[in-house]
Structure 1
């Protein structure tokens, strides 16, 4: 598979980076073609530009040409060419980091990720991605996340963004609590992340 990988954490020493690296290396060793973007290290600009703020219609070629940012054009091309998606990010305030939210604003646009015939119509998902895997880190206990907060990240990825863009299958897994975890625990989590990645993407080949 051609897998687009994204990691969104400002510290390269973060556990998010460790997870991403472990899974990517295993996927590459398994023969997958992994295209990786570290949004912070690349300095991705998350601010949507006026000329990019449109919702109805557009062809893929027109979507690539909107704006003058070659980085955004590359990201749009990369996700359009992918049939697998790996995203690793922390749970911050029940949402992805701002840089990843801005990536969604600027990359998952009409003509690339979806198409609307009218502003209030149902979307036609355009992505060829068959399988997406989202791995999160968090310090919120699972019971509180679900019972008190409603697991907003699940709503964002599993019910809003990925289905809207036509992604066929999706899995999300959370490693928690990261703060105070031992080296042994983190080692077990890394092995678990690698196993999940192998299972999710192997089953789709």
Structure 2
């Protein structure tokens, strides 16, 4: 099974990095072919160019070699894993830019008409989103309504053809204990392993 694992956190040594490494190690240990991408360390440019917003044909032609590589790889995946913090109810800019530049028409989906339903083009059947947050669950749900759930489970992933979307939130990271973090890493490993079932 070919799985892409994407990390979006700029600070080495963050808990997001620990989750990323635990997931990659678990999947590789179980025989998965893993494409591991630390987007910040790779210097992925999140800025969508004007040329990438044109026609479907223009958008599908990556002018950036790194973007072209990511587009080719994502098209061949069986599952995707995203690891990122919740910043302002959104993924960090590097991951938002990755979505906008990589999951483009002709690569990740197609539309018959502008008003039509999208047809997902990705072969990946499953996705796992592992988030960290410093907002307590009750406050987030009462005040914000869990915007990351909407982004991943209603907007992005079904649009490109991924129907099995799983998500786990680790919170609150800022005041967590070492024991809590170890338990969260174990949970991340179990959730990643479940993608192989």
TM-score normalised to the size of structure 1? 0.92
How far does the alpha carbon of each residue in 1:30-87 deviate from its partner, in whole angstroms, 9 at most, with x for none? Answer: 00000011110011000111111136x449xx82xx2421000000011000011010
2:29 aligned partner: 29
1:137 aligned partner: 132
Counterparts of 1:34 and 1:71, CA distance in 2: 18
Q: 1:134 touches 1:173 (CA, 8 Å); kept in 2?
A: yes
Counterparts of 2:113 and 2:13, CA distance in 1: 45
How far does the alpha carbon of each residue in 1:150-193 deviate from its partner, in whole angstroms, 9 at most, with x for none? Answer: 00000000000000000031100000000021111111111111
Q: 1:48 touches 1:102 (CA, 8 Å); kept in 2?
A: yes
TM-score normalised to the size of structure 2? 0.96
Counterparts of residues 31-180 of structure 1 (less than 5 Å): 31-54=31-54, 57-58=56-57, 63=60, 66-180=61-175
**Any gaps of 5 or more consecutive residues in structure 1?**
none
Q: Which runs of 4+ in 1 moved over 3 A?
A: none
**Any gaps of 5 or more consecutive residues in structure 2?**
none
Number of residue pairs matched by the alignment: 197
